[in-house]
Chains A and B, each alone.
Chain A
Amino acid sequence: MPTRHSSDLLVIGAGVIGAACAYYAARRGLNVTVVDRGPVAGGTTGAGEGNLLVSDKGPGPELELAQLSTSLWHELSDALPREIEYEAKGGLVVASGTEDLAALRTFAARQAAAGVTAETVPGDRLGDLEPHLTPGLAGGVHYPQDAQVQPALAAAHLLRAAGGRVRLRLGEPVTGILTATDGRVRGVRTPSGDLHAPCVVNAAGAWGGELARLAGVLLPVRPRRGFVLVTEPLPRVVRRKVYSADYVADVASGSAALQTSAVVEGTPAGPVLIGASRERVGFDRTLSVEVLRRLAAQAVRLFPVLATVRALRTYAGFRPYLPDHLPAIGHDPRRPGLLHACGHEGAGIGLAPATGQIIAALAAGDEPPLDVRPFRPERFGDGAAC
């Protein structure tokens, strides 16, 4: 087999995570090759939404990752072209009853203690923030740090902005991980030849488990399906990201049934996005009428004006999900030279820059910007793939 030009870092996956890894690695002076079996953003990145949220995360490692990412996205909004549609528009979480509201406020207070900006909004002032919001809600919390990008454009522009240090190989599936006799990774195999690099990053999203298996290690990434509803273009009727606090109450009550309302938001191009559902059904794209019913009902309940608005399309994507809801980021001690950057579930767009910065630091042999132990890829053990 022909052997091709080697680089310092080889990233498998041209989604937003792979793109962010490549971007930050190139800025550290590494030469990077990004391989994807499809196009840029052809996986989950092209099938999700671009919420960059801190509002939905309680104190803990994921929030820390999100907070770092929030500031990095803000920087990126200057470094990258406007086309990525970055908008620091803020989130608004609303509660319909007083009990919900109390739970929401408790949750917000804990977030505030962890450094999140959270402003309580009384029910009669919600209309100032969102004039079309249904009247009679008990109150809410405004999170000015919540922001938004268009994920596919963000990934494409990250790769482009990385410049000449990044080489893109699209349409090339990785079929094997090459290892030396001492077990160290030395590259990957594709149908058109072997690609060599001392470090390989698994940024294969929902397919990250398969890639890990090719490298002979266990990483139980599973797909978790989500649907998004997209309406016809409208003048701005929804200004922020708006969702209801039901799930916060659920979390507070310790109930096992985690139920979140749809996030409703307007986009610069006009359509309102309503997303998203969550269910584990494998890689099955068939439409669920019940999911659409619920998304639509929740959106109409928050914004009654949406009742006469048409949904033009809906699409499904597969979140890369790990059993403890945290991503796998960092070196895999079981396979030297292999790093993982996958399993970000419903927050991969938001968490991409921090993930990219961590991977770039580790690949360059430096200290990562925050404690990565909670994201250890080997934390699920070596047992048989479940």
Chain B
Amino acid sequence: MPNSASEAPGGGADSAPEAVPDAAPEDGAEYGPEGRADDGAAYGAECGPEYDLAVIGAGPAGLAGAVTASELGLSVALLDASGQPGGQYYRHPSPALGATRPEALHHNWPAFAALLRRLAAAEVTHLAGHHVWTVVAAPDAAGSWDVHALTGANGDEDRPGRVRARAVLLATGAYERQLPFPGWTLPGVVGAGGAQAMLKSALALPGRRVVVAGSGPLLLAVAASLAAAGARVPAVVEASDYLGYARRPGALLSQPAKLAEAAVHGAALLRHGVRLRTRSAVTQVHGSDRVEAVTVSRLDRQWRPVRGSGRRIACDALAVGHGLVPQLELAVGLGCTTRRTVDGTHALELGPLQETSVPGIWAAGETGGVGGFQLAFTEGELAGLAIAARLRGRAVAGEGRRSPRVLRRRRARLRAFADAMAAVHAPGPGWPQWLDDATEVCRCEEVTAGRIREAVADYGARDARTVKLLTRAGMGWCQGRMCGAAVACLAAQAQGPRRAQGAQPEPSPERRPLAVPVRLGALAALDEPNSPGTAEPKPTER
């Protein structure tokens, strides 16, 4: 593959990325004596050509978008934090682990293998190990975007780099939603998707007897994989009711492949003797310094635990998750409009051809709403076609199975399916009743549910942001990725009936202008813009 992180971008004679001159100053003197920190000398090394397209995220959506756009003649840079392409779905063991058949853990390996072949054949510059911390309009080149990334963001080795492009495709995927409950901070409690990812990439199991809990179709897949890999799975505990699917037959039946997939998992679970308990939740984890057992309670329609219904199940690990949350920090930082999804998360508002509300910024995959790898793949292709058409000033091309019309129809079908599932698995309003006031909600800053309720009831917080200001919930290392959903929900609920007055604005997605932490030395080493004409910020504080 022509895609090592260190290789200089561009290159191939026939793809010939337009060699727009490098905007970075070549002469070190330009920086002035104090313009860069000592280790920042490499900055600028990657300020090579301007690309037509920068794709952020090498999951199914980003890969499909990058490959499609490249095949249509665009110069493309594909950046991903991970060392390997594939994203969340096509995770595979690093070669060092010596796994002989990674495909054994995947149902859709051939599709991925085909994408990788196309990637290898295309002139895509794959920048692996690039953590993008922000995307901004290029200050000195109208209509272009600067993608700022860190390489090797471990220890002190991270170095800043910048990729400039005329269009950006955001394919940053999603992360798992966690809802807290008493005991969820005990060692042995892991994310369900995280357990799956560990299994796929490190071939490791979280325990020998693993209860899988939460809500969403991913739980079945996780339980099936864990069982297949040799774990005992005493129960899959699903908070919603799969009967909900029966109420939405249209959208669901239009997806035979998806249903077949579920059936495969179902059959696998039966084979391993796994019990599925619906409308139930883990309401307590037991153990002194590690998980020893969990209490599973029945839930009513609102997801309130039914008193006296608790049953104890012995286990040494709990894999838990409540669906996925689109990863939007880069998009929100750019000012892209979002929408509320049926299960209470935020996703990007997209045009018919995957463009966000900010012209020149496109999105595909989970960023536009969680919908699975097939949808991600479809949207990536559509975005690739549309971006190529825009930049080349032509009509959107593509034939047969890859015609925009076919892709759009497939997208609509898959979206409807995803929305129907999301509605079934949306957290019920009563889930905060799992929490006692002592339950830690923000683990980084050790903020309890009681303190969050107090901030709302007594101190005038009304949303996740002001709860954070008054309690520090969400200010720690994870920047609220872990507790944000729960805090927002507690803030809304603790306000009680006044919320019903309608004056309450829709909560907006959290802002995280730094998508990943950045060393101050790396920030200080960025190059100064060399255009005196632009509105110069004047850092001062009195």
Measured CB to CB, the residues of A under 8 A from B are 14, 37-42, 46, 49, 51, 53, 56-57, 152-153, 156-157, 159-160, 168, 170-173, 191-192, 226, 229, 231-233, 243, 247, 257-263, 269, 271, 274-279, 281, 285-301, 306-316, 346-347
Contact = CB atoms under 8 A, between A and B. Distances in A.
A360 B523 CA distance: 45
B470 A231 contact: no
Nearest to A39: B462
Given A41-B466, A156-B460, A262-B539, A314 B513 contact: yes
A243 B520 CA distance: 17
Nearest to A152: B469
B517 A311 contact: yes
Given A40-B466, A42-B466, A308-B521, A294 B539 contact: yes
A289 B134 contact: yes
Interface string B518-542: 1111011010110000011111111
B520 A229 contact: yes
Contact of A171 (B472, B501, B514, B528): B501
Given A156-B459, A290-B139, A232 B541 contact: no
Contacts of B540: 247, 258-261, 277-278
B41 interface: no
Among A39, A53, A159, A275, max chain B CB count under 10 A is at A39
B474 to A, nearest CB: 10
Contacts of A173: 503
B524 A300 contact: yes
Interface of B: 34-35, 37, 134, 136-137, 139, 146, 148, 156, 333-335, 455, 458-463, 465-466, 469-470, 472, 475-477, 479, 498, 501, 503-505, 511-514, 517-521, 523-524, 526, 528-529, 535-542
Contact of B511 (A233, A285, A301, A306): A285
Given A262-B541, A311-B519, 19 more contacts: A39-B460, A42-B463, A49-B541, A152-B469, A171-B462, A192-B503, A229-B520, A247-B540, A276-B541, A277-B540, A278-B537, A292-B526, A296-B524, A300-B520, A306-B521, A309-B519, A313-B475, A314-B513, A314-B514
Contacts of B156: 308
Contacts of B518: 310-311
A315 B513 contact: yes
B514 A312 contact: yes
B38 to A, nearest CB: 8
B136 to A, nearest CB: 6
Contact of A293 (B476, B517, B523, B536): B523
A156 B461 CA distance: 9
Given A279-B537, A285-B335, A307-B519, A14 B460 contact: yes
A224 to B, nearest CB: 10
B542 A53 contact: yes
Contacts of B134: 287, 289
A308 B523 CA distance: 10
Nearest to A297: B524
A279 B535 contact: yes
Contact of A57 (B37, B520, B542): B542
Contacts of A346: 541-542
B537 A288 contact: yes
A231 B501 CA distance: 39
B462 to A, nearest CB: 4
A312 B477 contact: yes
A191 B501 CA distance: 10
Given A156-B459, A296-B523, A296-B524, A232 B539 contact: no
A217 B137 CA distance: 38
Contact of A40 (B459, B501, B537): B459
Given A46-B466, A308-B521, A311-B523, A39 B335 contact: no
Contacts of B528: 290, 293
B24 to A, nearest CB: 13
B42 to A, nearest CB: 15
B541 A260 contact: yes
Nearest to B462: A39
Contacts of B520: 229, 231, 274, 296, 299-300, 306-311
Contacts of B136: 286-289
A274 B514 CA distance: 15
A293 B32 CA distance: 14
Contact of A300 (B517, B521, B542): B521
The 7 lowest CB-CB distance pairs between A and B, nearest first, are A40-B460, A260-B540, A307-B521, A296-B523, A39-B462, A152-B469, A297-B524
A243 B139 contact: no
Contacts of B521: 296, 300, 306-308
16 contacts: A39-B462, A226-B541, A231-B520, A243-B541, A259-B540, A287-B134, A293-B528, A296-B520, A297-B524, A300-B37, A310-B518, A310-B520, A311-B514, A311-B519, A314-B514, A346-B542
Nearest to B146: A289
Contacts of B35: 297
Nearest to A232: B517
A293 to B, nearest CB: 4
Contacts of B148: 289
A290 B542 contact: no
Contacts of B504: 171
A190 B353 CA distance: 41
Contacts of B476: 233
A384 B504 CA distance: 34
Contacts of A259: 538-540
Nearest to B480: A313
Nearest to A272: B520
Contacts of B523: 229, 292-293, 295-297, 311
A307 to B, nearest CB: 3
A306 B156 CA distance: 12
B338 to A, nearest CB: 14
